[in-house]
Amino acid sequence: GQNIDQPTEMTATEGAIVQINCTYQTSGFNGLFWYQQHAGEAPTFLSYNVLDGLEEKGRFSSFLSRSKGYSYLLLKELQMKDSASYLCAVRDTNDYKLSFGAGTTVTVRA
């Protein structure tokens, strides 16, 4: 089985940086994903890590440490539109199944 933990809520100011942590304990591991979900909408893919280290995509970066069962999503230069829920998901080795954390709701304030 999979156990994935992330904080419930975070608040930050426009233009600032926020780091969302995710820890996992899994029976199998074949990659970690971050998704963004705006209220009432479907999740959209943000990033993927399968090897240790940092992956950067514009204002968003994601880090993975497999030995520690730990990842974080870093959001830089926050904009109001970044207010959303951010979901951490771990992929199983079988059939590409994903197990999701409960999500972290980020609120960006002016």
Provide the binding-site residues for other proteins, judged by CB under 8 A: 31, 33, 40-45, 48, 50, 87, 89, 91, 95-103
Which is closer to other proteins, CB of 43 or CB of 69?
Answer: 43
Closest to other proteins by CB, 39 or 110? 39
Taking the complex as a whole, the smallest distance from the CB of residue 43 to other proteins amounts, in Å, to 5
Sign of torsion over alpha carbons 2, 44, 105, 47: positive
CB of residue 47 vs other proteins: minimum separation in angstroms? 9
Sign of torsion over alpha carbons 65, 67, 69, 70 = negative
Backbone angles phi, psi at 80, to 5 degrees: -55, -35
Nearest distance from residue 70's CB to other proteins, in Å?
18
Cβ closest to other proteins, residue 13 vs residue 44 = 44
Instruction: Measure the CA–CA gap between 51 and 2, rounded to whole angstroms.
Output: 19
Task: Answer whether 74's CB lies under 8 Å from 60's CB.
Answer: yes
Distance of closest approach, residue 90 Cβ to other proteins, in angstroms: 12
Looking at the Cβ atoms of 94 and 110, the one nearer to other proteins is 94
Q: In what order do the strands lie in the sheet with 18-26?
A: 2-5, 18-26, 70-75, 60-65, 53-57
